C-alpha cells in the first residue's frame, strides 16, 4: 500500500482537531501550549506533504521556519508560565487575571 498525500492530509486533520479541542477545553496552560504545538505540527505535515507531491523544496524550507518559530514560542510561553506561577501560584488559565483592575 502506497502512502499518498491524502493519508498525510487525514493525519494533519486529526492533529489539527486534537489541538483545537485541547485549546478550547483545557484549563491548564501547559496543555494549551502542547495543543498549539500539535496545530503547528499539523501545518508542518501539510507543508511537507504538498512539497513532496509537487516536487518543490519550498514547503520543506518553510516547515523549518515553522519548527524554529514553535521552539521560540515554547521557550517564551514557558518563561511566561514560570513568571505567572511565581506571582499567582497557579497554572490554570481561568485564574490568571493580571490585566484586570
User: Is residue 56 scored above 90 in pLDDT?
Assistant: yes
Domains and CATH numbers, the chain: 5-95 (1.10.287.3510)
Give the rounded percent of residues in the chain with a pLDDT score beyond 70. 96
In percent, how much of the chain has pLDDT > 90? 68
pLDDT tens digits, 62-87: 999 999 999 999 999 889 888 888 88
Confidence (pLDDT) at 36? 94
Cα separation of the two ends of the chain: 60
**How far is it between the farthest Cα atoms of the chain?**
60
Written as one string, the DSSP assignment of 37-80 is HHHHHHHHHHHHHHHHHHT-SHHHHHHHHHHHHHHHHHHHHHHH
pLDDT band at 59 (very low <50, low <70, confident <90, very high): very high
Amino acid at each position: 500500500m502506497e502512502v499518498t498525500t491524502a493519508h498525510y492530509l487525514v493525519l494533519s486533520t486529526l492533529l489539527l482537531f486534537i489541538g483545537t479541542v485541547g485549546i478550547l477545553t483545557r484549563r491548564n496552560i501547559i496543555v494549551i501550549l502542547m495543543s498549539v504545538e500539535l496545530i503547528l505540527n499539523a501545518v508542518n505535515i501539510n507543508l511537507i506533504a504538498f512539497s513532496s507531491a509537487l516536487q518543490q523544496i519550498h514547503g520543506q524550507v518553510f516547515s523549518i521556519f515553522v519548527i524554529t518559530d514553535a521552539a521560540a514560542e515554547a521557550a517564551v510561553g514557558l518563561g511566561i508560565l514560570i513568571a505567572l506561577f511565581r506571582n499567582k501560584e497557579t497554572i490554570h488559565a481561568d485564574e490568571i487575571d493580571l490585566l484586570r483592575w
